[in-house]
């Protein structure tokens, strides 16, 4: 088989073109597996958590936010396959750097108003996270309970400012 999508007369052969595209895509996919980013599935130890106002608040927070905003990330099987692993690692790195419920003794780069707005607007959890984690699709009443619980929790156990 020639590695060109053209026939001997110079016209494009659609079957060869499709095969060529598929082989090329597969080669790029295989090469991506050798990129080391996205495979460091470290879960550092929990150094401190907020003083939760209730077990329900902690449970809702960990269900909807914990994989990216804590050191208790559950790494699914697909988090080992590039390029998905790159996206998952990026979400976890970004989430932990802005707000980490497992490192409450360290500065956090967010405020309660930012957290409430992200939950209320639906920007958190992200759509792609909710797609793969249906339990993070909170109902309106769950969102309200989460906002109320986090507001109460952070009023008595506020984050240290200046992180990021």
DSSP code string of 39-79: -----PPP-B----S-HHHHHHHHHHTTTTSSS-----GGG
Instruction: Give the pLDDT mean for 114-141.
Output: 92
Compare 41 and 67 and report the one with higher pLDDT: 67
* Average pLDDT over every residue of 151-155: 94
Q: Are residues 11 and 75 in the same domain?
A: no
Residue 7 lies in a domain: yes
84: its two tokens: 């998905």
Expressed as residue numbers, the domain containing 119 is 55-156
Same domain, yes or no: 100 and 146: yes
The answer, yes or no, to whether residue 2 has pLDDT greater than 70, is no
In this prediction the pTM is 0.78
Residue 46 lies inside a defined structural domain of this protein: no
50 inside domain: no
Do 25 and 59 lie in one domain? The reply is no
Domain count, the chain: 2
Pair (139, 59) in one structural domain:
yes
Confidence band for 41, pLDDT divided at 50, 70 and 90: confident
In a domain, 145, yes or no: yes
75 within domain boundaries: yes
CA-CA-CA-CA dihedral for 119, 109, 53, 138, to nearest 10: 20
Which of 8-17, 53-62, 70-79, 144-153 comes out lowest in average pLDDT?
Answer: 8-17
């Amino acid at each position: 088989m020639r590695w060109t999508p053209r026939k001997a007369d110079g016209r494009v052969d659609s079957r060869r073109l499709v095969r060529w595209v598929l082989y090329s895509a597969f080669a790029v996919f295989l090469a991506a597996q050798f990129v080391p980013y996205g495979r460091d599935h470290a879960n550092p130890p929990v150094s401190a958590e907020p003083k939760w106002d209730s077990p329900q608040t902690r449970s809702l927070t960990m269900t909807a936010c914990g994989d990216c905003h804590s050191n208790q990330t559950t790494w699914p099987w697909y988090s080992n396959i590039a390029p998905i692993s790159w996206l998952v690692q990026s979400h976890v790195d970004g989430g932990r750097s802005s707000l980490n419920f497992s490192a409450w003794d360290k500065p956090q780069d967010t405020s309660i108003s930012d957290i409430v707005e992200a939950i209320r607007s639906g920007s958190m959890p992200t759509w792609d996270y909710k797609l793969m984690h249906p339990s993070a699709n909170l109902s309106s009443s769950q969102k309200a309970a989460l906002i109320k619980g986090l507001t109460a929790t952070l009023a008595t156990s506020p984050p240290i400012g200046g992180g990021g």
